[in-house]
Amino acid sequence: MTYHGRFAPSPTGKLHFGSLVAAVGSWLCARHAGGQWLVRMEDIDPPREVAGAAADILATLPAFGLIADAPPLYQSQRMAAYDTAFEQLREADLLFPCTCSRSQLATSGGIHRDGQCVTAGEPDRSPAWRLRVPDVEVAFDDALLGPQRENLRETVGDFVIRRADGHYSYQLACVVDDAFQGITDVVRGQDLLESTARQIWLQRCLELPTPTYRHLPLVLDGEGNKLSKSTHALPVDPCEPTPTLRRALAFLHQPLPSSVTGVEELLAHALADFDPALMPHCSGSSVT
Ligand code: GLU
């Protein structure tokens, strides 16, 4: 099967350095494998989105030499596929409606378990739909971090597939689209490691294939916090991509040419000796 990798940003702000590292890491792995590199715009959460961010991210990637092999897939245009997956789960009796509030779930650490709602359904409130999660341990090998295992009942319980506001969850959309795009290898930041067991479990429920996962260390700021759009990390500057791309490659432990070159040469230089196993795997790396 041909390697298919992807970069899947959410348009909650402009591309920042942490996201650039994930984009470059996934691009290098895909190109090294002679595979396809795809971009998916995860625009299914309008309350969190920033107007213009999707277009901005898509215009910024090529400035860093990151050219996708197909037009971007927009999750906002994939509702019919999520509806189908939702019905498949519902017909298999794997979903239930739930109107439990956060405060009602506080006594169980915010976790909903065993399909047992704290409240009887409230007819005038629209429910969220949760997946019935059994007492199951999901194990997988992360290509960078090694063996991982998680008991989903303990850690997340019955997780939300469709929110009360009608929006599908990231977990469902991600799993449906990774399968739709034929993704064989997911390379992304370690902040998403905690989603992986849920995604693998959903793949099993929907009879979809499980890709290989490789979670890259997060870029931290000077205070040890993850760079993120929500903490207003500075966007990368597409007008001056070379120094930033050098920093991204250095963060990924890739060799840099000593001469001053453009982004294409920098990427080609990194690719020439690229070994995915040599990318860093310890969490907490920081870059100034
Ligand atoms: N859209 C997610 C984010 O920007 C990433 C999803 C993924 O790579 O699976 O954090």
Contact 36, 42 (CB under 8 A): no
pLDDT at 288 over 50: no
In angstroms, the CA 149 to CA 2 distance is: 27
Average pLDDT, the chain: 93
In angstroms, the CA 288 to CA 286 distance is: 7
Q: Is the CB of residue 192 below 6 angstroms from any atom belonging to ligand 1?
A: yes
Q: Which of 171, 192, 193, 226 to mutate to test the pocket of ligand 1 (most atoms within 8 A of CB)?
A: 192
State the pLDDT confidence band at 21, using cuts at 50, 70 and 90.
very high
Q: Is the pTM of this model over 0.85?
A: yes
Report the nearest atom of ligand 1 relative to the CA of 7.
Answer: 8
In angstroms, the CA 65 to CA 12 distance is: 22
Among 122, 100, 127, 129, residue whose Cα is nearest residue 112:
100
Among 179, 202, 197, residue whose Cα is nearest residue 130:
202
Taking CA atoms, 218 is separated from 149, 178, 274, 282, in Å, by: 20, 22, 20, 9
| pLDDT tens by residue, 193-231 | 999 999 999 999 999 999 999 999 998 877 777 776 556
In angstroms, the CA 81 to CA 83 distance is: 5
Q: What domains can you pick out in the chain, each with its CATH number?
A: 4-77+181-285 (3.40.50.620), 80-162 (3.90.800.10)
Report the nearest atom of ligand 1 relative to the CA of 6.
Answer: 8
Report the nearest atom of ligand 1 relative to the CA of 178.
Answer: 9
In angstroms, the CA 141 to CA 135 distance is: 20
Q: Is the CB of residue 174 below 6 angstroms from any atom belonging to ligand 1?
A: yes
